[in-house]
Protein backbone atom coordinates (compact mmCIF):
# COMPACT_ATOMS: atom_id res chain seq x y z
CA UNK A 1 0.00 0.00 0.00
CA UNK A 2 1.36 3.45 -0.89
CA UNK A 3 1.69 5.79 2.10
CA UNK A 4 0.04 9.09 1.33
CA UNK A 5 1.27 12.62 1.96
CA UNK A 6 -1.27 14.11 4.33
CA UNK A 7 -1.37 17.88 4.26
CA UNK A 8 -3.95 20.02 5.95
CA UNK A 9 -7.14 21.75 4.94
CA UNK A 10 -7.40 20.70 1.28
CA UNK A 11 -10.61 20.72 -0.68
CA UNK A 12 -11.10 17.46 -2.58
CA UNK A 13 -8.53 17.24 -5.30
CA UNK A 14 -5.85 19.83 -4.64
CA UNK A 15 -2.23 19.47 -5.67
CA UNK A 16 -1.34 18.00 -2.24
CA UNK A 17 -3.22 14.84 -3.19
CA UNK A 18 -0.45 12.66 -4.52
CA UNK A 19 1.10 9.36 -3.38
CA UNK A 20 4.33 9.49 -1.43
CA UNK A 21 6.14 7.69 -4.24
CA UNK A 22 4.28 8.87 -7.34
CA UNK A 23 4.71 6.89 -10.55
CA UNK A 24 4.54 9.26 -13.53
CA UNK A 25 3.39 7.49 -16.69
CA UNK A 26 2.50 8.38 -20.25
CA UNK A 27 0.44 6.82 -23.02
CA UNK A 28 1.37 7.20 -26.67
CA UNK A 29 -0.61 6.82 -29.86
CA UNK A 30 -0.94 3.06 -30.38
CA UNK A 31 -1.71 0.71 -33.23
CA UNK A 32 -5.05 -1.12 -33.26
CA UNK A 33 -6.04 -2.71 -29.96
CA UNK A 34 -6.96 -6.36 -30.36
CA UNK A 35 -7.78 -9.30 -28.14
CA UNK A 36 -9.80 -10.16 -25.06
CA UNK A 37 -9.95 -7.92 -22.01
CA UNK A 38 -10.53 -10.01 -18.86
CA UNK A 39 -11.93 -7.34 -16.56
CA UNK A 40 -11.64 -7.91 -12.78
CA UNK A 41 -14.58 -8.26 -10.42
CA UNK A 42 -17.03 -5.46 -9.69
CA UNK A 43 -15.85 -3.22 -6.87
CA UNK A 44 -19.32 -2.50 -5.46
CA UNK A 45 -20.25 -6.19 -5.33
CA UNK A 46 -16.82 -7.12 -3.94
CA UNK A 47 -17.23 -4.69 -1.03
CA UNK A 48 -20.71 -5.97 -0.28
CA UNK A 49 -19.58 -9.62 -0.51
CA UNK A 50 -16.98 -8.98 2.19
CA UNK A 51 -19.37 -7.02 4.41
CA UNK A 52 -22.42 -9.29 4.14
CA UNK A 53 -20.29 -12.45 4.21
CA UNK A 54 -18.49 -11.08 7.27
CA UNK A 55 -21.79 -10.38 9.00
CA UNK A 56 -23.50 -13.65 8.08
CA UNK A 57 -23.87 -16.80 10.12
CA UNK A 58 -21.92 -19.61 8.51
CA UNK A 59 -19.63 -19.66 5.52
CA UNK A 60 -19.63 -17.62 2.31
CA UNK A 61 -17.42 -18.43 -0.66
CA UNK A 62 -16.63 -15.62 -3.08
CA UNK A 63 -15.12 -16.11 -6.53
CA UNK A 64 -14.05 -13.30 -8.86
CA UNK A 65 -13.45 -10.91 -5.95
CA UNK A 66 -11.66 -7.70 -6.96
CA UNK A 67 -8.29 -7.71 -5.20
CA UNK A 68 -7.78 -3.96 -5.48
CA UNK A 69 -6.53 -1.87 -2.56
CA UNK A 70 -10.03 -0.57 -1.77
CA UNK A 71 -11.39 -4.08 -1.25
CA UNK A 72 -8.29 -5.16 0.68
CA UNK A 73 -9.03 -2.32 3.10
CA UNK A 74 -12.59 -3.64 3.48
CA UNK A 75 -11.21 -7.13 4.21
CA UNK A 76 -8.89 -5.77 6.90
CA UNK A 77 -11.75 -3.80 8.47
CA UNK A 78 -14.09 -6.80 8.46
CA UNK A 79 -11.39 -8.93 10.12
CA UNK A 80 -10.97 -6.23 12.79
CA UNK A 81 -14.69 -6.60 13.52
CA UNK A 82 -14.39 -10.34 14.08
CA UNK A 83 -14.91 -12.04 10.71
CA UNK A 84 -12.53 -14.74 9.52
CA UNK A 85 -11.57 -14.15 5.88
CA UNK A 86 -9.11 -16.43 4.08
CA UNK A 87 -7.93 -16.54 0.48
CA UNK A 88 -7.69 -20.07 -0.89
CA UNK A 89 -6.26 -21.27 -4.22
CA UNK A 90 -4.11 -19.48 -6.76
CA UNK A 91 -4.30 -17.65 -10.10
CA UNK A 92 -7.58 -18.43 -11.89
CA UNK A 93 -8.80 -20.66 -9.10
CA UNK A 94 -9.08 -18.27 -6.15
CA UNK A 95 -11.89 -18.49 -3.60
CA UNK A 96 -12.24 -16.09 -0.68
CA UNK A 97 -13.73 -18.03 2.21
CA UNK A 98 -15.55 -15.95 4.81
CA UNK A 99 -16.79 -17.16 8.18
CA UNK A 100 -19.01 -14.39 9.47
CA UNK A 101 -19.70 -13.20 13.00
CA UNK A 102 -23.49 -13.48 12.82
CA UNK A 103 -25.76 -10.43 12.64
CA UNK A 104 -25.63 -8.36 15.82
CA UNK A 105 -22.38 -9.98 16.94
CA UNK A 106 -19.60 -7.79 15.50
CA UNK A 107 -16.66 -7.26 17.87
CA UNK A 108 -15.36 -3.81 18.82
CA UNK A 109 -12.20 -3.14 16.78
CA UNK A 110 -8.87 -2.82 18.63
CA UNK A 111 -7.79 0.27 16.74
CA UNK A 112 -8.82 2.70 14.00
CA UNK A 113 -10.14 1.25 10.74
CA UNK A 114 -8.10 2.61 7.82
CA UNK A 115 -10.03 2.79 4.55
CA UNK A 116 -7.23 4.20 2.40
CA UNK A 117 -8.82 5.81 -0.67
CA UNK A 118 -12.17 4.02 -0.48
CA UNK A 119 -15.28 6.15 0.05
CA UNK A 120 -17.53 3.16 -0.52
CA UNK A 121 -15.87 0.98 2.12
CA UNK A 122 -15.69 3.85 4.60
CA UNK A 123 -19.34 4.85 4.26
CA UNK A 124 -20.70 1.30 4.19
CA UNK A 125 -18.72 0.42 7.32
CA UNK A 126 -20.03 3.56 9.07
CA UNK A 127 -23.51 2.14 8.53
CA UNK A 128 -22.43 -1.37 9.49
CA UNK A 129 -21.05 -0.36 12.91
CA UNK A 130 -23.30 2.69 13.37
CA UNK A 131 -25.83 0.65 15.35
CA UNK A 132 -23.25 -1.03 17.63
CA UNK A 133 -22.67 0.11 21.19
CA UNK A 134 -18.91 0.64 20.86
CA UNK A 135 -16.43 3.17 19.49
CA UNK A 136 -15.17 2.88 15.91
CA UNK A 137 -12.60 5.27 14.45
CA UNK A 138 -12.37 5.80 10.68
CA UNK A 139 -9.26 7.05 8.92
CA UNK A 140 -8.18 7.33 5.29
CA UNK A 141 -5.79 8.95 2.84
CA UNK A 142 -5.73 12.64 1.92
CA UNK A 143 -8.42 12.17 -0.74
CA UNK A 144 -10.82 10.27 1.54
CA UNK A 145 -10.11 12.67 4.41
CA UNK A 146 -11.39 15.55 2.29
CA UNK A 147 -14.69 13.88 1.32
CA UNK A 148 -17.98 14.72 3.06
CA UNK A 149 -19.22 12.12 5.57
CA UNK A 150 -22.14 14.18 6.89
CA UNK A 151 -24.39 12.57 4.28
CA UNK A 152 -23.97 9.25 6.16
CA UNK A 153 -23.64 10.65 9.68
CA UNK A 154 -26.93 12.60 9.43
CA UNK A 155 -29.21 9.54 9.06
CA UNK A 156 -27.07 7.58 11.54
CA UNK A 157 -27.63 10.30 14.15
CA UNK A 158 -31.37 9.80 13.66
CA UNK A 159 -30.80 6.13 14.44
CA UNK A 160 -29.02 7.02 17.68
CA UNK A 161 -25.37 7.05 16.62
CA UNK A 162 -23.13 9.54 18.43
CA UNK A 163 -20.37 11.36 16.62
CA UNK A 164 -17.65 11.16 19.26
CA UNK A 165 -15.06 13.00 17.20
CA UNK A 166 -14.89 14.44 13.72
CA UNK A 167 -12.86 16.99 11.80
CA UNK A 168 -14.64 20.15 10.69
CA UNK A 169 -17.31 19.62 8.06
CA UNK A 170 -17.74 15.91 8.88
CA UNK A 171 -14.33 14.89 7.54
CA UNK A 172 -12.12 11.97 8.66
CA UNK A 173 -10.74 11.03 11.11
CA UNK A 174 -14.12 10.35 12.67
CA UNK A 175 -15.09 8.28 15.72
CA UNK A 176 -18.67 7.11 16.16
CA UNK A 177 -20.46 5.19 18.91
CA UNK A 178 -23.74 3.40 18.30
CA UNK A 179 -26.74 3.29 20.68
CA UNK A 180 -27.62 0.33 22.90
CA UNK A 181 -30.76 -0.10 20.82
CA UNK A 182 -30.88 1.61 17.45
CA UNK A 183 -33.93 3.44 16.18
CA UNK A 184 -35.19 2.05 12.86
CA UNK A 185 -35.91 5.05 10.65
CA UNK A 186 -37.53 5.98 7.38
CA UNK A 187 -35.01 8.13 5.57
CA UNK A 188 -35.48 10.02 2.30
CA UNK A 189 -32.13 10.40 0.53
CA UNK A 190 -31.28 14.06 -0.10
CA UNK A 191 -28.60 13.01 -2.65
CA UNK A 192 -28.72 10.17 -5.18
CA UNK A 193 -26.16 7.95 -3.46
CA UNK A 194 -26.01 4.17 -3.23
CA UNK A 195 -23.40 4.58 -0.52
CA UNK A 196 -25.77 6.51 1.74
CA UNK A 197 -28.67 4.17 0.95
CA UNK A 198 -26.49 1.18 1.80
CA UNK A 199 -25.15 2.72 5.01
CA UNK A 200 -28.68 3.29 6.35
CA UNK A 201 -29.83 -0.20 5.36
CA UNK A 202 -26.73 -1.71 6.97
CA UNK A 203 -27.40 0.14 10.22
CA UNK A 204 -30.99 -1.08 9.96
CA UNK A 205 -29.76 -4.67 10.06
CA UNK A 206 -28.96 -4.17 13.76
CA UNK A 207 -32.08 -2.15 14.63
CA UNK A 208 -35.32 -3.72 15.90
CA UNK A 209 -38.06 -3.36 13.26
CA UNK A 210 -38.15 -2.03 9.73
CA UNK A 211 -35.69 0.52 8.35
CA UNK A 212 -36.73 2.20 5.10
CA UNK A 213 -34.77 4.29 2.62
CA UNK A 214 -36.64 6.35 0.03
CA UNK A 215 -34.67 7.13 -3.10
CA UNK A 216 -36.22 9.57 -5.58
CA UNK A 217 -33.65 8.53 -8.21
CA UNK A 218 -32.70 4.88 -8.56
CA UNK A 219 -29.06 4.19 -7.66
CA UNK A 220 -27.13 0.93 -7.97
CA UNK A 221 -29.24 -1.74 -6.27
CA UNK A 222 -26.61 -4.28 -5.22
CA UNK A 223 -27.23 -3.89 -1.47
CA UNK A 224 -30.92 -4.68 -1.64
CA UNK A 225 -30.44 -7.54 -4.11
CA UNK A 226 -27.56 -9.13 -2.24
CA UNK A 227 -29.20 -8.84 1.19
CA UNK A 228 -32.09 -10.89 -0.20
CA UNK A 229 -29.54 -13.47 -1.34
CA UNK A 230 -28.29 -13.65 2.26
CA UNK A 231 -31.86 -14.34 3.42
CA UNK A 232 -32.81 -10.90 4.80
CA UNK A 233 -36.43 -9.85 4.17
CA UNK A 234 -36.19 -6.82 1.86
CA UNK A 235 -39.07 -5.09 0.12
CA UNK A 236 -38.79 -2.62 -2.74
CA UNK A 237 -41.83 -0.58 -3.69
CA UNK A 238 -42.30 2.26 -6.15
CA UNK A 239 -44.54 5.18 -5.12
CA UNK A 240 -46.74 7.36 -7.36
CA UNK A 241 -43.83 9.79 -7.91
CA UNK A 242 -41.52 6.99 -9.06
CA UNK A 243 -39.45 7.00 -5.85
CA UNK A 244 -38.24 3.61 -4.60
CA UNK A 245 -38.94 2.65 -0.98
CA UNK A 246 -36.45 0.01 0.16
CA UNK A 247 -37.15 -1.65 3.52
CA UNK A 248 -35.12 -4.16 5.50
CA UNK A 249 -36.16 -6.15 8.54
CA UNK A 250 -33.63 -5.62 11.31
CA UNK A 251 -32.06 -8.21 13.60
CA UNK A 252 -32.71 -10.95 11.07
CA UNK A 253 -30.23 -13.75 10.42
CA UNK A 254 -27.95 -13.43 7.38
CA UNK A 255 -27.07 -16.87 6.06
CA UNK A 256 -23.68 -17.34 4.38
CA UNK A 257 -23.85 -18.01 0.64
CA UNK A 258 -21.74 -18.40 -2.51
CA UNK A 259 -21.12 -15.35 -4.67
CA UNK A 260 -19.64 -15.11 -8.17
CA UNK A 261 -18.60 -11.48 -8.67
CA UNK A 262 -19.20 -10.35 -12.28
CA UNK A 263 -16.77 -8.18 -14.28
CA UNK A 264 -16.92 -4.52 -13.28
CA UNK A 265 -18.63 -2.35 -15.93
CA UNK A 266 -16.85 0.70 -14.49
CA UNK A 267 -13.45 -0.91 -15.17
CA UNK A 268 -14.58 -2.36 -18.51
CA UNK A 269 -15.35 1.25 -19.51
CA UNK A 270 -11.63 1.98 -20.02
CA UNK A 271 -11.07 -0.92 -22.43
CA UNK A 272 -14.35 -0.12 -24.21
CA UNK A 273 -13.53 3.55 -24.79
CA UNK A 274 -9.94 2.72 -25.77
CA UNK A 275 -11.22 0.31 -28.45
CA UNK A 276 -13.67 2.93 -29.73
CA UNK A 277 -11.07 5.68 -30.18
CA UNK A 278 -7.99 3.78 -31.43
CA UNK A 279 -8.47 3.24 -35.19
CA UNK A 280 -8.71 -0.38 -36.34
CA UNK A 281 -9.37 -1.80 -32.86
CA UNK A 282 -11.57 -4.76 -32.02
CA UNK A 283 -11.71 -5.85 -28.38
CA UNK A 284 -13.79 -8.58 -26.78
CA UNK A 285 -14.90 -7.92 -23.19
CA UNK A 286 -16.59 -11.03 -21.76
CA UNK A 287 -18.89 -11.37 -18.74
CA UNK A 288 -19.55 -7.67 -18.08
CA UNK A 289 -22.27 -6.94 -15.55
CA UNK A 290 -25.29 -5.39 -17.31
CA UNK A 291 -27.34 -4.38 -14.26
CA UNK A 292 -29.39 -1.45 -15.63
CA UNK A 293 -28.39 0.74 -12.67
CA UNK A 294 -24.81 0.53 -14.03
CA UNK A 295 -25.08 0.65 -17.83
CA UNK A 296 -25.59 4.37 -18.49
CA UNK A 297 -22.20 4.65 -20.22
CA UNK A 298 -23.00 1.87 -22.70
CA UNK A 299 -26.36 3.52 -23.48
CA UNK A 300 -24.58 6.84 -24.04
CA UNK A 301 -21.83 5.39 -26.21
CA UNK A 302 -24.44 3.59 -28.34
CA UNK A 303 -26.22 6.94 -28.82
CA UNK A 304 -22.86 8.40 -29.89
CA UNK A 305 -22.68 5.79 -32.65
CA UNK A 306 -20.40 3.28 -30.94
CA UNK A 307 -20.11 -0.19 -32.44
CA UNK A 308 -20.66 -2.32 -29.34
CA UNK A 309 -22.15 -5.76 -29.97
CA UNK A 310 -23.84 -7.14 -26.86
CA UNK A 311 -24.16 -10.94 -26.99
CA UNK A 312 -24.98 -13.89 -24.81
CA UNK A 313 -26.98 -12.06 -22.16
CA UNK A 314 -27.35 -14.42 -19.22
CA UNK A 315 -27.73 -14.51 -15.46
CA UNK A 316 -24.80 -15.14 -13.14
CA UNK A 317 -25.15 -14.94 -9.36
CA UNK A 318 -28.38 -12.95 -9.64
CA UNK A 319 -26.91 -10.36 -12.03
CA UNK A 320 -27.32 -10.10 -15.78
CA UNK A 321 -24.00 -10.31 -17.62
CA UNK A 322 -23.11 -10.21 -21.33
CA UNK A 323 -20.14 -10.49 -23.68
CA UNK A 324 -19.26 -7.27 -25.49
CA UNK A 325 -17.36 -6.84 -28.75
CA UNK A 326 -16.22 -3.28 -29.29
CA UNK A 327 -14.89 -1.91 -32.58
CA UNK A 328 -13.33 1.42 -33.45
CA UNK A 329 -16.15 3.87 -34.25
CA UNK A 330 -16.67 7.35 -35.56
CA UNK A 331 -18.42 8.93 -32.60
CA UNK A 332 -20.70 11.95 -32.53
CA UNK A 333 -21.44 14.27 -29.62
CA UNK A 334 -24.66 13.88 -27.62
CA UNK A 335 -26.41 15.41 -24.62
CA UNK A 336 -26.33 13.14 -21.58
CA UNK A 337 -29.40 13.96 -19.44
CA UNK A 338 -29.13 14.49 -15.69
CA UNK A 339 -31.52 11.54 -15.09
CA UNK A 340 -28.82 9.18 -16.39
CA UNK A 341 -26.12 10.40 -14.01
CA UNK A 342 -26.65 7.80 -11.27
CA UNK A 343 -26.32 4.89 -13.72
CA UNK A 344 -22.92 6.08 -14.98
CA UNK A 345 -21.64 8.24 -12.15
CA UNK A 346 -18.13 6.75 -12.20
CA UNK A 347 -17.87 6.79 -15.99
CA UNK A 348 -17.96 10.55 -16.75
CA UNK A 349 -14.16 10.97 -16.81
CA UNK A 350 -13.78 8.30 -19.49
CA UNK A 351 -16.88 9.55 -21.31
CA UNK A 352 -15.15 12.94 -21.51
CA UNK A 353 -12.28 11.15 -23.24
CA UNK A 354 -14.63 9.51 -25.76
CA UNK A 355 -16.22 12.94 -26.28
CA UNK A 356 -12.82 14.46 -27.07
CA UNK A 357 -12.67 12.16 -30.14
CA UNK A 358 -16.32 12.67 -31.17
CA UNK A 359 -17.61 14.95 -33.89
CA UNK A 360 -19.32 17.96 -32.26
CA UNK A 361 -20.28 18.74 -28.69
CA UNK A 362 -21.05 16.38 -25.84
CA UNK A 363 -22.93 17.97 -22.95
CA UNK A 364 -23.04 16.17 -19.60
CA UNK A 365 -25.81 17.56 -17.40
CA UNK A 366 -26.58 17.30 -13.68
CA UNK A 367 -23.19 15.94 -12.64
CA UNK A 368 -22.60 17.91 -9.41
CA UNK A 369 -21.93 14.66 -7.49
CA UNK A 370 -18.66 14.41 -9.43
CA UNK A 371 -17.35 17.21 -7.22
CA UNK A 372 -17.21 14.90 -4.16
CA UNK A 373 -15.66 11.76 -5.61
CA UNK A 374 -12.04 10.64 -5.06
CA UNK A 375 -11.22 14.07 -6.49
CA UNK A 376 -13.39 16.95 -7.64
CA UNK A 377 -13.79 15.05 -10.90
CA UNK A 378 -15.42 17.89 -12.82
CA UNK A 379 -12.46 20.14 -12.08
CA UNK A 380 -9.91 17.33 -12.56
CA UNK A 381 -11.33 16.32 -15.95
CA UNK A 382 -11.54 19.96 -17.07
CA UNK A 383 -7.93 20.54 -15.99
CA UNK A 384 -6.78 17.41 -17.85
CA UNK A 385 -8.63 18.45 -21.01
CA UNK A 386 -7.13 21.93 -20.74
CA UNK A 387 -3.60 20.59 -20.26
CA UNK A 388 -4.03 18.61 -23.48
CA UNK A 389 -5.68 21.29 -25.58
CA UNK A 390 -9.19 19.78 -25.76
CA UNK A 391 -11.94 22.40 -26.15
CA UNK A 392 -14.39 22.30 -23.25
CA UNK A 393 -16.49 24.37 -20.85
CA UNK A 394 -17.09 23.57 -17.19
CA UNK A 395 -20.18 24.66 -15.23
CA UNK A 396 -21.05 24.09 -11.58
CA UNK A 397 -22.87 20.85 -12.48
CA UNK A 398 -22.17 20.32 -16.17
CA UNK A 399 -19.34 19.77 -18.60
CA UNK A 400 -19.29 20.37 -22.35
CA UNK A 401 -16.57 18.83 -24.51
CA UNK A 402 -16.03 19.77 -28.15
CA UNK A 403 -14.42 16.85 -29.92
CA UNK A 404 -11.82 16.51 -32.63
CA UNK A 405 -12.17 13.10 -34.33
CA UNK A 406 -8.58 13.36 -35.56
CA UNK A 407 -7.34 13.54 -31.97
CA UNK A 408 -5.17 16.55 -32.76
CA UNK A 409 -4.36 17.21 -29.12
CA UNK A 410 -2.31 15.85 -26.22
CA UNK A 411 1.13 16.79 -25.00
CA UNK A 412 0.03 17.70 -21.47
CA UNK A 413 0.55 16.25 -18.01
CA UNK A 414 -2.55 15.53 -15.93
CA UNK A 415 -2.74 15.82 -12.14
CA UNK A 416 -4.41 12.59 -11.00
CA UNK A 417 -5.12 13.82 -7.44
CA UNK A 418 -5.20 10.31 -5.90
CA UNK A 419 -8.04 9.47 -8.28
CA UNK A 420 -7.76 6.13 -10.09
CA UNK A 421 -10.38 7.01 -12.68
CA UNK A 422 -8.67 10.28 -13.63
CA UNK A 423 -5.40 8.35 -14.06
CA UNK A 424 -6.89 5.62 -16.26
CA UNK A 425 -9.09 7.97 -18.31
CA UNK A 426 -6.21 10.19 -19.42
CA UNK A 427 -3.95 7.24 -20.16
CA UNK A 428 -6.72 6.00 -22.46
CA UNK A 429 -6.82 9.43 -24.12
CA UNK A 430 -3.09 9.25 -24.90
CA UNK A 431 -3.55 5.97 -26.82
CA UNK A 432 -5.27 7.86 -29.66
CA UNK A 433 -4.22 11.51 -29.38
CA UNK A 434 -1.63 12.98 -31.72
CA UNK A 435 0.78 13.78 -28.90
CA UNK A 436 1.37 11.60 -25.79
CA UNK A 437 -0.63 12.23 -22.64
CA UNK A 438 1.21 12.02 -19.31
CA UNK A 439 -0.16 11.58 -15.80
CA UNK A 440 1.74 12.57 -12.68
CA UNK A 441 0.88 9.40 -10.77
CA UNK A 442 -0.31 5.96 -11.84
CA UNK A 443 -0.21 4.52 -8.29
CA UNK A 444 -3.93 5.18 -7.53
CA UNK A 445 -4.92 2.76 -10.32
CA UNK A 446 -4.20 -0.07 -7.86
CA UNK A 447 -7.23 0.92 -5.78
CA UNK A 448 -9.72 -0.48 -8.30
CA UNK A 449 -7.96 -2.04 -11.31
CA UNK A 450 -4.46 -3.32 -10.47
CA UNK A 451 -4.28 -5.21 -13.78
CA UNK A 452 -5.03 -2.12 -15.89
CA UNK A 453 -1.55 -1.50 -17.33
CA UNK A 454 -0.65 -5.14 -18.20
CA UNK A 455 -4.16 -5.82 -19.49
CA UNK A 456 -4.19 -2.79 -21.78
CA UNK A 457 -0.59 -3.44 -22.89
CA UNK A 458 -1.66 -6.98 -23.80
CA UNK A 459 -4.22 -5.49 -26.19
CA UNK A 460 -1.52 -3.35 -27.82
CA UNK A 461 -1.61 -0.16 -25.75
CA UNK A 462 1.72 1.62 -25.47
CA UNK A 463 2.66 3.14 -22.16
CA UNK A 464 5.96 4.51 -21.00
CA UNK A 465 7.51 6.11 -17.98
CA UNK A 466 7.10 9.87 -17.84
CA UNK A 467 9.27 12.45 -16.07
Rounded alpha-carbon distances, angstroms, from residue 453 to 352, 371, 411, 428, 465:
20, 26, 20, 10, 12
Residue placing its CB nearer to ligand S3P in the complex, 68 or 109: 68
Among 220, 284, 294, 392, binds ligand S3P (CB under 6 A): 220
Least distance to ligand S3P, CB of residue 188, Å: 15
The yes or no reply on residue 427 touching ligand S3P (CB under 6 A) is no
Spell out, one character per residue from 241 to 280, where the chain touches ligand S3P: x when CB under 6 A holds, - when not.
----------------------------------------
Ranked by CB distance to ligand S3P, the top (closest) residue is 44
Distance CA 422, CA 405 (A): 21
Least distance to ligand S3P, CB of residue 349, Å: 11
User: Which helix H or strand E contains 438, and what residues bound it?
Assistant: strand 437-439
Residues in region 361-400 near ligand S3P by CB under 6 A: 369
* DSSP assignment of 211-231: EEEEESS----HHHHHHHHTT
Helices and strands of the chain, counted as H and E runs: 12, 24
CB 90: neighbour CB atoms within 10 A? 7
The candidate with the shortest Cα–Cα distance to 206, out of 254, 164, 138, 136, is 254
Residue placing its CB nearer to ligand S3P in the complex, 399 or 466: 399
The yes or no reply on residue 10 touching ligand S3P (CB under 6 A) is no
Residue placing its CB nearer to ligand S3P in the complex, 72 or 461: 72
Distance CA 266, CA 155 (A): 28
Least distance to ligand S3P, CB of residue 374, Å: 8
The yes or no reply on residue 201 touching ligand S3P (CB under 6 A) is no
Cα dihedral across residues 168, 447, 365, 294: positive or negative: negative
Among 276, 288, 331, 345, binds ligand S3P (CB under 6 A): 345
Residue placing its CB nearer to ligand S3P in the complex, 195 or 425: 195
The yes or no reply on residue 194 touching ligand S3P (CB under 6 A) is yes
Residue placing its CB nearer to ligand S3P in the complex, 346 or 419: 346
Stretch that binds ligand S3P, among 19-27, 105-113, 192-200, 291-299 (CB under 6 A): 192-200
The yes or no reply on residue 346 touching ligand S3P (CB under 6 A) is yes
Least distance to ligand S3P, CB of residue 322, Å: 21
CB 262 within 8 A of CB 41: yes
The yes or no reply on residue 120 touching ligand S3P (CB under 6 A) is yes
Distance CA 405, CA 103 (A): 54
Least distance to ligand S3P, CB of residue 285, Å: 19
* DSSP assignment of 280-346: T-EEEEEEEE--TTS-HHHHHHHHTT-EEEEEEEEEETTEEEEEEEEE----B--EE-GGGGGGGGG
Residue placing its CB nearer to ligand S3P in the complex, 122 or 324: 122
Spell out, one character per residue from 304 to 343, where the chain touches ligand S3P: x when CB under 6 A holds, - when not.
----------------------------------------
Among 14, 30, 117, 198, binds ligand S3P (CB under 6 A): 198
Interacting residues of 330 by C-beta distance below 8 A, sequence separation 6+: 305, 359, 405
Residue placing its CB nearer to ligand S3P in the complex, 30 or 193: 193
* DSSP assignment of 101-124: --TT-PPPPSSPEE-TT-HHHHHH
Distance CA 353, CA 401 (A): 9
Cα 211–341–190 angle (5° rounding)?
Answer: 35
The four Cα atoms 100, 106, 107, 112 give a dihedral, to 10 degrees, of 100
Residues in region 36-65 near ligand S3P by CB under 6 A: 44
Distance CA 92, CA 70 (A): 21
Distance CA 437, CA 410 (A): 5
Residue placing its CB nearer to ligand S3P in the complex, 120 or 295: 120
Q: Is 346 a catalytic residue?
A: yes
Cα dihedral across residues 315, 316, 319, 323: positive or negative: negative
Least distance to ligand S3P, CB of residue 246, Å: 13
Least distance to ligand S3P, CB of residue 456, Å: 21
Q: Write down the catalytic residue from 346, 376, 419, 440.
A: 346
Peptide bond into 240 cis (omega under 30): no
Least distance to ligand S3P, CB of residue 100, Å: 20
Residue placing its CB nearer to ligand S3P in the complex, 234 or 345: 345
Stretch that binds ligand S3P, among 61-69, 193-201, 318-326, 387-395 (CB under 6 A): 193-201
Least distance to ligand S3P, CB of residue 435, Å: 31
Point out which residues bind ligand S3P (CB under 6 A): 44, 120, 193-195, 198, 219-220, 345-346, 369
Amino acid sequence: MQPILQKTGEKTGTAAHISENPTPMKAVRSGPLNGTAAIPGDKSISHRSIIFGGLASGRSRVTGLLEGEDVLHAIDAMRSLGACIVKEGTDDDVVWVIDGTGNGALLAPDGPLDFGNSGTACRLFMGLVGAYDFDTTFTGDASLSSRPMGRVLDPLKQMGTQIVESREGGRLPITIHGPRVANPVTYALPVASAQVKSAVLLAGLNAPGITTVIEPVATRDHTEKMLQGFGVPVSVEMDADGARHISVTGQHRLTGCDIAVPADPSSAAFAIVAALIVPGSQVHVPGVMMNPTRTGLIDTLLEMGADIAIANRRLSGGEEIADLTVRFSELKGVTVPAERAASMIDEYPVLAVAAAFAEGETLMQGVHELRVKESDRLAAVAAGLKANGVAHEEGEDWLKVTGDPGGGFGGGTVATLLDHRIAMSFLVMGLASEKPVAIDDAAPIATSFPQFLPLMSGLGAQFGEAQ
